[in-house]
Amino acid sequence: MRIATWNVNSITARLPRLLAWLESSGTDVLCIQETKTTAEQFPTEELRELGYESAVNATGRWNGVAVVSRVGLEDIVRGLPGDPGYEGTEEPRAVSATCGPVRVWSVYVPNGREVDHPHYAYKLQWFEALKTAVAGDAAGSRPFAVLGDYNVAPTDDDVFDRSVFEGSTHVTEPERAALTALRGTGLSDVVPRPLKYDHPFTYWDYRQLGFPKNRGMRIDLVYGNAPFAKAVTDAYVDREERKGKGASDHAPVVVDLDV
């Protein structure tokens, strides 16, 4: 079974590449972030033609998440239970579903913007709600994983140059402590480091030749419980999908399971 996560940075802009990638990669379940569309505008029919069902949580121009699966889609939960909301609004940042023998969450963690910004406090509150929401499944016997754009680099090795991020979000101790607390529910990072290269980044800014210069970050993560981690046979970042015209600024992260 092949499961992946990908921040597509607009599913409308990325649709031809997404459909081609699903066909060529043989992915069974894909967790998608930053759809930037409404649920009504989500390409459900195009995906169905490829054999994928869709579970979507999306409301408009910003944010938006989905799980698409060709191995079944049941027990769908849209939204994060206990979501703290931002400025009185619950943003579409989480959706979960059972896909065959595995249950997954697709999450798009708040960016945080700046350390002294209210969005940063919201980010930490959102992490706390996520930890509470997944604790039961994380401790369970069914393979379970939380996949997505976490907007946090777990260690200094997960950014191209730590000094560049001094005083910025994505690398602060409270954010990393939130990741540690999430793993404390029974989850672990199932994508090994290093992979086939020293720095398996997943995101590169469009500006200043970020990708050609490999000025990246590893912020797209797959955190699985013990049964999920035990079933992993391979994992990789598909850097090829970050290349060329019309690419997202994130690359897919792919995990193979023997379940």
Q: Point out the annotated binding site for Mg(2+).
A: 7, 34, 149, 151, 249-250
Task: Tell me if residue 258 is catalytic.
Answer: no
Burial of 87 (0-12, 13-18, 19+ CB in 10 A): exposed
**Kindly report the CA angle at 30 between 173 and 222, in degrees rounded to 5?**
25
161 catalytic, yes or no?
no
The contacts found for 119-125 with CB under 8 angstroms, 24 or more apart, are: 119/86, 120/169, 122/84, 122/85, 122/86, 123/151, 123/169, 123/175, 124/174, 124/175, 124/178, 125/84
Q: What kind and span of H or E run contains 17?
A: helix 11-25
Kindly report the length of the chain. Answer: 259
Question: What are the structure tokens assigned to 12, written together?
Answer: 């409308």
- As annotated, the binding site includes 7, 34, 149, 151, 249-250
**What are φ and ψ of residue 91, in 5° steps?**
-85, 150
The catalytically annotated residue of 52, 122, 203, 250 is 250
Is 149 a residue of the active site?
Answer: yes
Which among 28, 52, 108, 137 is annotated as catalytic? 108
Cis peptide bond prior to 194, omega within 30° of 0: yes
Catalytic residue (choose from 149, 158, 220, 238): 149
| Active site amino acids | 108, 149, 250
